[in-house]
Structure formats: C-alpha cells, structure tokens
Structure 1
Amino acid sequence: MVEKLSSKNKMPIRNVTDSAFASYGRIVTGYDFSELIEYMEQKTEIPDQGNVYVASVGEMEQTRACEMIQKNLYGAMPVQIGYCNGRNTTYNGFEYHKGSEINVAVTDFMLVLGHTWDIKDNTYCADQAEVFFVEKGTAIEMYQTTLHLSPCRVTDEGFKDIVVLPQGTNTPLKDAKDILEPENVLLLQTNKWVLAHPKREPLIKQGAHPGFLGENKELLY
C-alpha cells in the first residue's frame, strides 16, 4: 500500500512501523480495543462529505479499554474517547495538544505529521511535514510535540479513527485566551493549538490562526 501511495503522490509515504515515525510517536500494543472498534463499526457512520468529530462518547468511555488506557497510558489522568470519521484528502492545517493522543485505526488511513519545534513565529511550512500510513487495527500514541490534524482517506469509502485525549481537550474555551504565552495566538479550543491554511475557510471562520504556509496539498489514493 505505501508503495502505491508514494507513487501516486510522488513523495515518500511511510508506514508507522518505519523508524522515521519514532520522533512523532510509537505503536501501542498489548491492549484489547475490540469493544471500541465494535462500537465504531456498528454505531458510527462516515459522512457523505467532509468529516465528523465527536470529542467524547460516554459508551466508549465505559469500556474496559478506556479504564486500561487511563490507568496505564495516562497515569490515571482522566481521558476522553471519541472519534473522527470522514473523507478528508487535504492537509488543511495542523494542531497540537499538551499531552499525548492515542489513535486506533478502524480503517486504513494516512496522517500528515510535523514537529512543534519547527514552528517559527507561530508559522509552520508545509514542506517540513511527512506523511504516514496507518493500517486498520493499528493503535498509535502521538506525542504532544507532534503536529497533526484529520486523517486522510485511502479509499472511496473514507476513514474511521478512534481518538483518545486528556479530558476536556477540543472543547470550547471557558475564558478568553491569555496571550502571556506567544503560542496562545494559536489557541483555538481547550488544549488545542491550531495553525490553519489561509484558504481553509471552515477553520479560519472558527478563529484559527492562518499560520500554515505553503501548498495545501491533496493526497491521492
């Protein structure tokens, strides 16, 4: 699959099993995610257009998997489990959080990733990003220094992705953001710093900072 995707896009697309992924995250093994995957397959849909993101799903958070994730991967810190399903094919921008993000691929998809240390003056250049393929059934931890956004589909049907984050992430800010920290120009929601492509109107209209420079590439499949 990665050879086909690399050829179509005329750029390297690597599997998350590749050593190049090590600075972005790691593959998570030893956990039974079957309850979460079953919920996703039976009770969630891929929209006809665009993406749908749900930050927290109570039924998913009442599973044994959630208990094990919270206890072992987050040191007993409260977490939320939700999902992102969709048909995205473009970069659009990047976000990051303070705390790791766990993704479980219910379908195959690609991720466009970067490093927070490459942000300069609240801008990030598209040419520095790398693309990784995540195979169905794979669970990964993305470190808090990893820039990311929506997965990109690799089939006409779209993608389904389980998303685990520290509790409260991606929810509306309760107070006005404090610009004491320069990076908070990028703060869009609770624990969600965003650099959007200037032409990505849905993000810009939400108030995202247009700090993603370069071509808003579309990934072919």
Structure 2
Amino acid sequence: MRFEQLKEKNPGISFYPVTDAAFEPYGRIITDYPLEEVLAVMENKAVPENGNTYIASDPDLMNTDFASLMTSHFYAGIPAQIGYCNGTTDRLNALEYHKCSELDIAATDLVLLLCDARQIRGNHLSADQVTAFYVPCGTAVELYATTLHFAPCRVNQEGFKSIIVLTAGTNEPLPSLPEARTPEDQLIWMKNKWLIAHPDSVPASKGAYVGIDGENLQIKL
C-alpha cells in the first residue's frame, strides 16, 4: 500500500515518508553502502504466517562483503552483527533503544514507529508521542541511539522484511536481569537493550517493564 493511502487510513497517527524533514531527529538515510547482496539474501528469508521472526545474526547475511563494511566502516572497528526481522505485526507493542546506532534496511516496504528516548519521564511515555514513518523497499536508515523503536509494521497483508544491523551481541539474552541500581536499569531486557512495553503486548506478558500509556497504536490497512 502506498504512503498516501496509509496516511489516509490512519488519520490519528502522525505519519510521514522517511524522506521528510520530520525524520531528522530520529536518524538519517544511508546511501553509501551497496545493498544488492544482502537484499538478494532476503529473498530466501520467509515471512511467518503470524507474528514476527527475529534473527540477531544470520549466517547468510554475515557471509557478505556488506557485513565486513559494517564492522570496518559503519561501526569503525566494533564487530557488527547482521540479522533480520520478518513478520506481520501491525501494532506498536513496545519501544526499545540501544546504546549504539541501528541500521535498518527495508527489504519490503514497511512502517517504523519511532519516538525520542529523551521524552521518557519516570520510565513512562505516551503513545501519542510516537510518529510513523513509511520506508520504501531498498532504503537503509540509521536510527540514532536516542531513537525508540521496535519491530516494523506491515503495509500489506503479505507482511514485511527488514535487515537489522547492530553491534555484536545486542539483543542476545542475558543470563539474568541485573538488580536495578538506577531507574533506567528497570528497563534492561536483553544485552544492550532497554525496553518499555505497552500493557497489551507479548513483552509485557513476559515481564517487560510496562511504561507506554494510551493506545497500542495500529497501522490500519
């Protein structure tokens, strides 16, 4: 579904193309790396019938020249992991941040729901502070470390595919959650992952910190 149609069907959500200046506080479009190899790999990565599949580090994506460039250039020598998130989600559900930038590459058209982590107050924020961005297939976007995000949302019934680039180890399970020494520590959920869940979400049902107030935003088709 095209951006104009999605915006019309979702009048209650702030909605922009990722090329709009409204995206600038959250990240930037990256055009300096060849994407053909990794986009070709994604052609063989299936979309699940329901929910999402997230693979933090995929062997096929890691075995590319692009992966080497992510370590040597994008992260300036810090080892990178290249994985993917494919799915059928159309809800906000949660917001997370990492203490590094994340590179998302749309392998299909998709929508990112974003917010600024500096808007968190007392480990809470309102869903009406979230902005939706339409990202067309083949577009790579860097999300800054201050950008709250979660899984993409689909723009059609077939679902979405997205390549996810992060520093190695991010989103891996922790042996146990550390004892909270600061309020931010209550949001620790995985390695290099701080997460705030909506009460009507799977992460909340698994014990994630519930701090998104208001509606669990849905991208309607």
Bin for the TM-score computed over the shorter chain: over 0.9
Q: How does 1:11-160 map to 2 (within 5 A)?
A: 11-42=13-44, 44-160=45-161
Q: In structure 2, what is the Cα distance between the partners aligned to 1:177 and 1:205?
A: 19
Partner SS state of residue 23, structure 1: coil
SS of aligned partner of 2:50: coil
Tell me which moved more, 175-184 or 187-196.
175-184
TM-score (norm 1): 0.96
SS at match of 2:54: strand
> C-alpha separation between the residues in 2 aligned to 1:121 and 1:111?
24
Q: SS of 2:122's equivalent?
A: coil
Cα deviation 1:88-113 (Å, max 9, x = unaligned):
00111101101000011000000100
Contact 2:50 2:87 in 1 (8 A): yes
Tell me which amino acid in the other structure corresponds to 1:187: I
Show structure 1 runs of 5+ residues with no match: none
Cα pair 2:14 2:130 within 8 Å, conserved = no
- The equivalent residue for 2:213 is 213
TM-score normalised to structure 2 length: 0.96
Instruction: Report the CA distance between 1:36 and its aligned residue.
Output: 1.1
What is the total number of aligned residue pairs between the two structures? 219
> Which segments of structure 1 move beyond 4 Å, counting only runs of 4 or more?
none
The CA distance in 1 between the partners of 2:190 and 2:126, in whole Å, is 22
**Cα root mean square deviation, aligned:** 1.1
Aligned to 1:204: 204
Is the CA contact 1:35–1:65 (under 8 Å) kept in the aligned structure 2? yes
Identity of matched residues, %: 42
Deviation digits for residues 15-35 of structure 1 (CA, Å, limit 9, x no counterpart): 111111000000000211211
Q: State the match for 1:186 in structure 2.
A: 187
Distance in 1, Cα, partners of 2:179 & 2:134: 37
- Please say if residues 188 and 207 of structure 1, whose CA atoms lie closer than 8 Å, have aligned partners that are also in contact: no
Residue 177 of structure 1: CA displacement? 1.3
